[in-house]
Amino acid sequence: MSKSIHKPGFVLGDALDIPTFKVLKQDGTLYKGAQEPEFDKEMALKLYDDLVFIRVLDERMVGAQRQGRIPFYLASLGEEAASVGSAGALKPQDMIFAQYREQGALRHRGFSVDQFMDQCFSNERDLGKGRQMPIHYGSKALNYNTISSPLGTQIPQAAGYAYGQKLDGIDACTICYFGEGAASEGDFHAGLNMAAVLKCPTIFLCRNNGYAISTPSAEQFSGDGVASRGIGYGIATLRVDGNDLLAVYAATAAARAYALEHNAPVLIEAMSYRLGAHSTSDDPTGYRSKDEEAQWAKKDPILRYKHWLTNKGWWSDEQEKTLYAEHRSNILAAMKAAEKRPVPTIDHLITDVYDEPTPHLRQQLKQLKAHMRKYPDQYPKTSGRLDA
Amino acid sequence: MSRMNLLQAINNALITAMEKDDKVVCFGEDVGHFGGVFRATSHLQEKFGRARCFNTPLTEQGIIGFANGLASQGHKAIAEIQFGDYIFPAFDQIVNETAKFRYRSGNEFNVGGLTIRTPYGGGIRGGHYHSQSPEAYFAHTPGLKIVVPRNPHQAKGLLLASIRDDNPVIFFEPKRLYRAAVGDVPEEDYELPIGVAETVREGQDCTLLAWGAQMEVASKAAERADKEGIDCEVIDLRSILPWDVDAVVASVKKTGRLVVTHEAPLTNGFGAEIAATVQEQAFLYLEAPVTRVCGLDVPYPLSHEAEYMPDETKVFEAIVATMNY
């Protein structure tokens, strides 16, 4: 029951003052009162490997796009800790619904360098059969639901997926990533409300990176960030420093425990900054200052985590050099191989529209193939394999 | 056999599906304890519990988004949209997500377990927002199946087939017939095929094609034509997507004439697709142009509903005009 008042008194939109959970300082030491993470050295180094892999991958793929080798790319520069740290705290059976900037979570699950390349080059080994633009990854084996471009559509889906896990009575939850811009979509509000009311064990993880393409978060919403929305929907909510891998890890581990214990959703708002462009189609120099970027570059999440590893005596400059060199060489080799692989055969134009191609689709493919036989030079990628 | 109206047949199909498969889950606005505003989900919550039959918040995009996720997880999600007129907030989830889930993932994931039930159509003095027939919007989207029953027997058999089909299906229920259509329905479990038309009256002179509630109008028009000595063949398309081209074309090749009728507006209605396909595949057999008897290209009216509707007399006139072409 709400208590009564007898004079009009507003609760102001900025009444909430949600704190930010931090563990690690930029120099790699812990804040007073903060705790060491619950993982061991092996896990610590695995997480670092994921971070470095993604940074090198992003750098190489942005370069490949500039060279015209792939049509599009979208880097996670500056936000790697949010996806790697959260994925690290989950179990392999937990489903991931990503937005599109969470390659770190996918890498952590074990997506191979070849799988990344095959998807980005839309070749015949791409699990998505060359149907979506680069970075729209997905893998059933790794419980990573295939990415789609529309913003926020994954949010109510993650609620439904988690509801199914609850019905099955299994030790599994669902994590759903999205940006602070997507939190303005109707699907965000619909999805959080559905999850709260229907008691779905879903972890909603908002990467608040400050910008939706060019629009700063101050022009996206008012009030106390995305976190305040969670509280409005009756959802347990935590704001965390998204550049602090240890904090993101601890927040997600706690969220997982809470979601499964209470059969209820959790919202995490991870505060970060998109150091690069929105995508290869964007140029941030038109909407933000070099100074601002430089300030955030000093808060590099990978460097912060490396300082912690170094302080622990778990990492050396020599290891650092070797790791970067290894990833660079593996990625380049995989890129060269993926580039040479052909696109899927034309038969895959009509598979997977339905569980089986309908007679109507078979007829359309037959007509297309007849046309391609007449004009093979017009369709060089597939016309040589019409009867494959 | 039991006498049932169309709503009871739907309710019976849902009970059958939920008894046979504990992965089947029903939800939507007011579908829980209340049993839905039309009572299609009556007693499901009592029989199967709140976890499998429940109310949702009032958010169509949330309902279908949630349903997509639940279906991709492996459940048979049956989502009710209270009126077809209110399905549009979910248009993005249906067109960009449901329809493309399997294709975009290379079959890593699919929402084949999803069935969207929604009442459609006019004749109930419902005005703009309780009368529309939105099937053509969805028929333009590969990856969906669209099914429309015309009577209680079909409603049960087609709904069971839709729930079990390994593709997402939108099941449009003719709400004008919910209580008006009564017929014998088998007690046992049965399915009717999706994508297969049904010839309900054989004839030699003119093919008359419709689906759902409009079948009643088409059949009456055929009887009226019969009294004038015109022998119509009446076909119920039953599925809009995929649709049974072969059955329609075979009939037109026999009669040489085709009248298509639907409640939705004329322009870009599904009748246009049928007309285009038939002229392509049976051009030399046609004795007259394919004729469409549809709603006018206006928002669905209230005070002029009778005039708007493609009723028996309009369909009859089209048959006569086709015969005299």
Report pLDDT digits (tens) over B2-14: 999 999 999 999 9
Residues B172 and B217 in one domain: no
User: Helix axis angle, B152-164 relative to B6-20, nearest 10°?
Assistant: 30
Mean pLDDT (chain B) is: 98
A155 touches chain B (CB under 8 A): yes
- Say yes or no to pLDDT of B129 above 80: yes
What's the confidence (pLDDT) of residue A38? Answer: 86
Return the residue of A nearest to B169 by Cα. A354
Measure in Å the smallest separation between the Cα of A168 and chain B Cα atoms. 9
Residues B219 and B126 in one domain: no
Q: Give B103's contacts in chain A (Cβ within 8 Å).
A: 131, 352-353
Residues B208 and B269 in one domain: yes
| Number of Cβ within a 10 Å radius of residue B224 | 18
Beta strands in chain A (DSSP E): 20-21, 95-97, 144-145, 174-179, 202-208, 211-212, 215-216, 236-241, 266-271
Q: Is A189 a catalytic residue?
A: no
SS3 A217: helix
First to last CA, chain A: 69
Rounded-to-10 torsion of CA A363, A365, A366, A370: 140
Which residue out of B52, B68, B70 would a mutagenesis test of the A interface target, given it has the greatest number of A Cβ atoms within 10 Å? Answer: B70
Beta carbons within 8 Å of A313's beta carbon, 6+ residues apart: none
Residues B143 and B217 in one domain: no
SS3 B55: strand
Mean pLDDT, rounded, for B12-22: 98
- Say yes or no to pLDDT of A270 above 90: yes
For the question of an ipTM over 0.90, the answer is yes
Percent share of chain A, pLDDT over 70: 100
| Gap between the Cα atoms of B94 and B184, Å rounded | 34
Q: Is A136 a catalytic residue?
A: no
Q: Which of A126, A351, A355 sits opposite B112 (nearest CB)?
A: A355
Instruction: Please report whether residue B193 resides in a domain.
Output: no
SS3 A332: helix
Q: What is the pLDDT of residues A101-141, one digit of tens each?
A: 999 999 999 999 999 999 999 999 999 999 999 999 999 99
Residues A265 and A375 in one domain: no
- Of the candidates B144, B146, B166, B159, the one whose C-alpha atom is nearest the C-alpha of residue B94 is B144
Residues B155 and B300 in one domain: no
Measure in Å the smallest separation between the Cα of A303 and chain B Cα atoms. 35
Is the whole model's pTM more than 0.90, yes or no?
Answer: yes
| Contact yes or no for A138 and B109 at CB 8 A | yes
Instruction: Please report whether residue A153 resides in a domain.
Output: yes
Residues A300 and A369 in one domain: no
Residues A188 and A70 in one domain: yes
Residues A96 and A143 in one domain: yes
- Asked if A111 contacts A144 with a C-beta cutoff of 8 angstroms, the reply is yes
Residues B57 and B171 in one domain: yes
| Gap between the Cα atoms of B62 and A71, Å rounded | 33
CATH of the domain at A91: 3.40.50.970
Q: Cα-flanking dihedrals φ and ψ of residue A343, to 5°?
A: -70, 165
Beta carbons within 8 Å of B247's beta carbon, 6+ residues apart: B196, B197, B199, B235
Residues A305 and A352 in one domain: no
Mean pLDDT, rounded, for A261-283: 96
Q: Give B69's contacts in chain A (Cβ within 8 Å).
A: 97, 156-164, 174
Instruction: Please report whether residue A4 resides in a domain.
Output: no
Q: What is the pLDDT of residues B195-212, one digit of tens each?
A: 999 999 999 999 999 999
Q: Which of B89, B104, B242 sits opposite A131 (nearest CB)?
A: B104
Beta carbons within 8 Å of B280's beta carbon, 6+ residues apart: none
How many domains does chain B divide into?
A: 2
Residues A358 and A230 in one domain: no
- Of the candidates A221, A226, A225, A212, the one whose C-alpha atom is nearest the C-alpha of residue A287 is A212
Question: Please, which residues bridge with residue A206 across strands?
Answer: A178, A269
Mean pLDDT, rounded, for A333-345: 98
Residues B226 and B316 in one domain: yes
CATH of the domain at B101: 3.40.50.970
| Contact yes or no for A136 and B62 at CB 8 A | no
Give me B76's structure tokens: 């048979």
What's the confidence (pLDDT) of residue A87? Answer: 98
CATH of the domain at B206: 3.40.50.920
Residues B59 and B16 in one domain: yes
Residues A314 and A362 in one domain: no
Instruction: Please report whether residue B297 resides in a domain.
Output: yes
Q: Give B109's contacts in chain A (Cβ within 8 Å).
A: 138, 140, 145-146
Counting runs of H as helices and runs of E as strands, what totals does chain A give?
A: 12, 9
Residues B232 and B292 in one domain: yes
Q: Is A278 a catalytic residue?
A: yes
Q: What is the pLDDT of residues A10-65, one digit of tens each?
A: 999 888 899 999 999 999 999 999 998 889 999 999 999 999 999 999 999 999 99
How many domains does chain A divide into?
A: 2
Residues A370 and A335 in one domain: no
Residues A355 and A236 in one domain: no
Q: What is the pLDDT of residues B213-260, one digit of tens each?
A: 999 999 999 999 999 999 999 999 999 999 999 999 999 999 999 999
Instruction: Please report whether residue B191 resides in a domain.
Output: no
Instruction: Please report whether residue A140 resides in a domain.
Output: yes
Residues B240 and B171 in one domain: no
- Asked if A128 contacts A167 with a C-beta cutoff of 8 angstroms, the reply is no
Residues B170 and B222 in one domain: no
What's the confidence (pLDDT) of residue A388? Answer: 73
SS3 A248: helix
Instruction: Please report whether residue A269 resides in a domain.
Output: yes
Instruction: Please report whether residue B16 resides in a domain.
Output: yes
- Say yes or no to pLDDT of A4 above 80: yes
- Establish, for the pair of chains A and B, how many residue pairs have beta carbons separated by less than 8 Å: 151
Handedness of CA A331, A335, A337, A343 (dihedral sign): positive
Instruction: Please report whether residue A14 resides in a domain.
Output: no
First to last CA, chain B: 45
Q: Give A351's contacts in chain B (Cβ within 8 Å).
A: 107
> Which domain, by its residues, includes A324?
20-28+38-280+289-340
A1: confidence class by pLDDT, cuts 50, 70, 90: confident
Residues in chain A: 388
Measure in Å the smallest separation between the Cα of A150 and chain B Cα atoms. 8
Return the residue of A nearest to B102 by Cα. A352
Residues B157 and B126 in one domain: yes
Mean pLDDT, rounded, for A134-150: 98
A12 residue type, one letter: L
Handedness of CA B108, A164, B74, B167 (dihedral sign): negative
Residues A233 and A355 in one domain: no
Handedness of CA A48, A54, A60, A66 (dihedral sign): negative
Residue at a domain's end among B135, B157, B185: B185
Q: Give A161's contacts in chain B (Cβ within 8 Å).
A: 69-70, 72-73
Q: What is the pLDDT of residues A170-195, one digit of tens each?
A: 999 999 999 999 999 999 999 999 99
Residue at a domain's end among B147, B163, B185: B185
What is the DSSP secondary structure assignment for residue B56, as one 8-state letter? -
Residues A373 and A272 in one domain: no
> Which domain, by its residues, includes B309?
198-323
- Of the candidates B108, B142, B151, the one whose C-alpha atom is nearest the C-alpha of residue B238 is B151
Residues A127 and A98 in one domain: yes
Instruction: Please report whether residue A44 resides in a domain.
Output: yes
- Per-position b or e across A328-350, b if 16+ CB within 10 A of its CB: eebbeebbebbeebebbbbebbb
Q: Cα-flanking dihedrals φ and ψ of residue B123, to 5°?
A: 85, 15
